[in-house]
Amino acid sequence: MEQEMAYDRQGKSYPVADFKDDYSGDKLGFWVFLLTEGMMFGVLFLLYGIYFYRHTAMFAFSSADLNIWLGGTNTVLLLISTYTMGVATLMMRQGKLKLSAMLVGLTIFIAIVFLGIKASEWGVDISHGIYPGSKLLDAKDTGEILFFGLYFVMTGLHGLHVIIGIALMSWVLLLMRSGGIHPEHTIVMKNVTLYWDFVHLIWIVLFPLLYMIGV
């Protein structure tokens, strides 16, 4: 399509930005969206900070109950997955479609493993009777109740984001097949990569807060 122009009184022409296929607009929009996500997790971090300040000892004590090895493995997994997703975008830009699609697939796979590990961790806690509202937990010190309350909320919300990420990446794969994403049109790919970066960044903060303070 031809670039549309607007003309001033002297007849000079200026390019008009259109709402269709506006690359910079799509990018800006996604950054603004990530800002809202940041505000949302920010509230949880704030709550965590306040209760940590009030119940420091109990938070450290409860944190020691979590399996740092599983959490650590998950951290490494997410680190690798942002790498694969990032390289996938690079390959896409270089026109290596097949490779790019494979890397996205790999990222999805890692994300699923992450969820599996997370689910098994939750499973162990729950089988020990530790979950929000359980009799066992509610009988404990308030610091512990608050720690586990926040633990389940924060990892739960993060897990939800991982699930959404998986859905988005699968959609990317579909788009690649149908030609909705190609080396000249990568905005969706870039935004999903950005999203995945964000999800991993959140985990990088969550991991020390939840798992490492008890070490």
Partner 1 sequence: MMPSFYYETHTIFGTHKSKILQWIFSIDHKRIAILYIGVLFALFFCAVGAALTMRAELFFPGQQLIQAQTYNQLFTFHGVTMIFLFIVPGIAAGLGNFILPLMLGARDLSFPRLNLLSWWLYILGVVVALSSLVTGAGFADTGWTFYAPYSIRTDSHVLSTLIAAFILGLSSILTGLNFVVTIHRLRAPGMDFFKMPLFVWGLYATAWIQVLATPVIGITLILVILERTLGIGVFDPSKGGDPILFEHLFWIYSHPAVYLMILPGFGIISEVLPVFTRRTIFGYRSIAISSASIAGIGYLVWGHHMFTSGISDIARLIFSFLTFLVAIPTGVKIFDWLATLYKGSIVLATPMLWILGSIVNFTVGGLTGLTLGALGPDIHLHDTYFVVAHFHYTILGGVVFMFIGGMHYWYPKITGKMYDEVKGRVAFGLMFVGFNMLWFPMFIAGFLGNPRRYFDYLPTFTIYHQLSGIGALLVALGLLLVLYTFYKGLKEGKEAGPNPWRGTTLEWHIPSPPPLENFSKIPYVDFDPYEYEDGEPLVQLDENFRRIR
Binding residues (CB under 8 A) for partner 1: these are 4, 6-9, 14-19, 22, 24-25, 28-29, 32-33, 35-37, 39-44, 47, 50-51, 55, 131-133, 138, 142-143, 145-146, 149-150, 152-153
Enter the tokens of residue 88: 């996938």
* Closest of 86, 48, 47, 51 to residue 208, by C-alpha: 48
Q: Minimal distance in Å, beta carbon 211 to partner 1? A: 19
Long-range Cβ contact pairs of 150-155 (< 8 A, separation 24 or more) = 150/44, 150/47, 150/48, 150/51, 151/62, 151/66, 151/210, 152/122, 153/44, 154/44, 154/48, 154/206, 154/209, 154/210, 155/118, 155/122, 155/206, 155/210
Comparison of 110 and 158: residue with beta carbon closer to partner 1: 158
Comparison of 55 and 118: residue with beta carbon closer to partner 1: 55
Comparison of 79 and 163: residue with beta carbon closer to partner 1: 163
- How many CB atoms are located within 10 Å of the residue 5 CB? 10
Q: Minimal distance in Å, beta carbon 50 to partner 1? A: 7
185: which DSSP letter? B
Q: Minimal distance in Å, beta carbon 28 to partner 1? A: 5
Comparison of 83 and 152: residue with beta carbon closer to partner 1: 152
Enter the tokens of residue 65: 């109950």
3-state SS class at 131: coil
Comparison of 31 and 109: residue with beta carbon closer to partner 1: 31
SS3 content of the chain, % helix, strand, coil (to 5): 75, 5, 20
Q: Minimal distance in Å, beta carbon 146 to partner 1? A: 5
5: left (phi > 0), else alpha (psi -120 to 50), else beta?
Answer: beta
Q: Minimal distance in Å, beta carbon 212 to partner 1? A: 22
Comparison of 152 and 171: residue with beta carbon closer to partner 1: 152
Q: Minimal distance in Å, beta carbon 158 to partner 1? A: 13
